[in-house]
Amino acid sequence: MMKPLRVLMASWEEVIEPLFREVIEGGGHHLTISHPWNRKQEFIDEAKAGEYDVVIVTNLGLPLDYSLGLIAPLRESCSAKVIVMSGAAGQEDREMASKAGACAFHQMPMPVDKLLEAVEAAARE
C-alpha cells in the first residue's frame, strides 16, 4: 500500500474541485487546492513549504500558458513531481510542459479512476 501523498492543485474552477477532492482524498491522500492567479510566487512558496509529493497544474479556470508557466519555477523550488491536466491542449502544449519539467500530461476529462492512478504514478516516478 502506498503511503498517503501530499498533493497541491492549481485551479480556479470551483465546480470541478469537489470531484478532485473526493477522488484524491478518497484514495487516502491529502489535497490542498490553491488559486494561483496573480499569486504565482505565493503558489510556488506553498509548494516548497508544504513538502508536497505531487503538484497538479491545470487550466481549470486558468489560461493554459499561465499554468504551464508554473512548471519550471516549481521544479526549481521543490522536489514535487508536476503533472498537467488540461481540457484543451495540443501537441505543442504537451511538448512545452515536458520541456519545463512536467512528468506527465493528461487530457481532461478523464475517468475518475484514472485521475487517482495519474497522481499515484507521478509520485512513484
The model carries a pTM of 0.92
* Total number of domains constituting the chain: 1
Look at residue 1 in the predicted model and tell me its pLDDT: 60
DSSP state string for 14-36: TTTHHHHHHHHHHTT-EEEEE--
Q: Does any domain span residue 1?
A: no
Q: Residue 14 carries which side chain, given as an amino acid letter?
A: E
Q: Single out the residue of 25, 56, 30, 53 nearest to residue 43, CA to CA.
A: 56
Look at residue 125 in the predicted model and tell me its pLDDT: 84
Q: Does any domain span residue 58?
A: yes
Cell output for 40: 504565482
Cell output for 104: 506527465
Look at residue 86 in the predicted model and tell me its pLDDT: 87
CATH code of 103's domain: 3.40.50.2300
Q: Does any domain span residue 77?
A: yes
- In this structure, the number of other CB atoms found within 10 A of the CB of residue 13 comes to 15
Does residue 85 contact residue 55 with C-beta atoms inside 8 Å? no
Domain span at 98: 6-124
Per-residue pLDDT of the chain (125 residues; tens, 9 = 90+): 679 999 999 988 888 889 999 999 999 999 999 988 888 899 999 999 989 999 999 887 778 888 889 999 999 999 999 999 988 778 888 898 999 999 999 988 888 889 999 999 999 98
Cis bond leading into 109, ω under 30°? yes
Look at residue 41 in the predicted model and tell me its pLDDT: 93
Look at residue 75 in the predicted model and tell me its pLDDT: 93
